[in-house]
Amino acid sequence: VLSKQTTEQYAYIRHCNKTSAFSSTGIIPVVDLSKPEAKTLIVKACEEFGFFKVINHGVPMEAISKLESEAINFFSLPNNQKEKAGPPNPFGYGNKKIGENGDVGWVEYLLLKNNQDYNSMRLSVFGQTTDKFRNVLNDYICAVRKMGCEILELMAEGLNIEEKNVFSKLLMDKESDSLFRLNHYPPCPEMALDNKNGENLVGFGEHTDPQIISLLRSNNTSGLQICLKDRSWVSVPPDYNSFFINVGDSLQLSNVQYLGLVGDPQVMTNGRFRSVRHRVLANGFDSRLSMIYFGGPPLSEKIAPLPCLMKENEESLYKEFTWFEYKKSAYASRLADNRLGHFEIF
């Protein structure tokens, strides 16, 4: 359990309206990776939600709990100690501020890169334990990346793409621009006092992830919500033992030829894979701790519809660009912006 004092450092609270209408439903697809129908279910879930839950994922519970306890130790440190590992430009500890363009949330976090020199990034707040932290993180990332590749290969199979590793090779590339994030959402005492007239505090504002795929797990505290095609929000019941998978912008792009008319986001939802809008609401009583691996391509990789998925005479709806260019534009945007819009041809 994270200490109560960690919540007191926050001075500002941001509310959003109309959260009372959000319902918690059982509609989120569950994919059992050990079952033969997994590939079909994955494609279906990516089309319908851009989101699904994975069970029998093969990531050892030990790797998960070890990293989780390192994370709890870190976030339980006094504020001035944690700040020593910041600011998160581009990697390190961040508190409340998200990105560089004015977004804030009821969250503190660590943005990390695999195989990074944690001593040089002042994560030496871990002191003697830096090496341990590095090992625990590496074990976790290796296991989670393996699961991610398995999912991406099943996805390629489900799409009848001959080259099974067409997506997974991007994560396996030694230049892969992947990153890792630990998020701690402290309980918000104010929200526990009364129901704030159904208002909620934003932990992490709505957005899509720019990368290919995001692999998330959390403790048993709720908060995550996803946006459906009809633009309603649903809560994702937390599940300590499962992973949650988000389709990112880059994966949506590789499938653009399936999208409908250009320019109308509603029409885009007739398309193939959805880059899912999601957000996290703060909780009145419990700490939420989540860990997310963002699988990205090498910076020089072209983001474009896969030729093998293009029909004859079909043209791409998007300008051709590299992951470097897309990422640069994404990092210059606000969290809630529609980032793909900048790259539409018409």
- Looking at the DSSP bridge assignments, the partners of residue 288 are 185
Considering the candidates 145, 274, 288, 339, report the single residue annotated as catalytic: 288
Among 53, 184, 207, 217, binds ligand GA4 (CB under 6 A): 207
**Cβ nearer to ligand GA4, comparing 134 with 339:** 339
User: Closest residue to ligand GA4, Cβ-based?
Assistant: 99
Residue 219 CA: distances (Å) to CA of 2, 146, 182, 213: 12, 21, 12, 20
Q: How far is the CB of 324 from ligand GA4 (least distance, A)?
A: 13
Token pair of 114 as six digits = 């695999």
Look at residues 188, 212, 210 and name the one whose alpha carbon lies nearest to residue 199: 188
Type of residue found at 292: I
**Cβ nearer to ligand GA4, comparing 285 with 331:** 331
Q: Would you say 312 and 283 are in contact if contact means Cβ atoms under 8 Å apart? A: no
Q: Does 177 bind ligand GA4 (CB under 6 A)?
A: no
Q: Does 293 bind ligand GA4 (CB under 6 A)?
A: no
**Cβ nearer to ligand GA4, comparing 184 with 207:** 207
Q: Does 210 bind ligand GA4 (CB under 6 A)?
A: yes
**Cβ nearer to ligand GA4, comparing 111 with 154:** 111
The residue count for binding ligand GA4 (CB under 6 A) is 15
Looking at residue 205, what DSSP letter applies?
E
Among 52, 106, 273, 294, binds ligand GA4 (CB under 6 A): 294
Q: How far is the CB of 325 from ligand GA4 (least distance, A)?
A: 14
Give catalytic status of residue 134 as yes or no. Answer: no
Q: Tell me the per-residue interface mask from 317 to 346 with ligand GA4, x by CB under 6 A, - otherwise.
A: -------------xx-xxx-----------
Q: Does 181 bind ligand GA4 (CB under 6 A)?
A: yes
Looking at residue 45, what DSSP letter applies?
H
Determine how β-strand 288-295 pairs with β-strand 213-218. Answer: antiparallel
Q: How far is the CB of 277 from ligand GA4 (least distance, A)?
A: 11
Contacts of 16 (CB under 8 A, 6+ apart): 199, 200, 201, 202
Token pair of 230 as six digits = 């009809």
Q: How far is the CB of 287 from ligand GA4 (least distance, A)?
A: 19
Question: For residues 254 and 246, what is the distance between their CA atoms, to the nearest angstrom?
Answer: 15
Type of residue found at 55: I
Q: Does 297 bind ligand GA4 (CB under 6 A)?
A: no
Question: For residues 74 and 76, what is the distance between their CA atoms, to the nearest angstrom?
Answer: 5
Rounded to 5°, angle at Cα 48 from 151 and 246: 45
- 344 phi and psi, to 5 degrees? -75, 145
**Cβ nearer to ligand GA4, comparing 159 with 280:** 280
User: Within positions 78 to 117, which residues make up the interface with ligand GA4, using CB under 6 A?
Assistant: 98-99, 101, 103, 111
- Residues serving a catalytic function are 288
Interacting residues with ligand GA4 (CB under 6 A): 98-99, 101, 103, 111, 181, 207, 209-210, 294, 330-331, 333-335
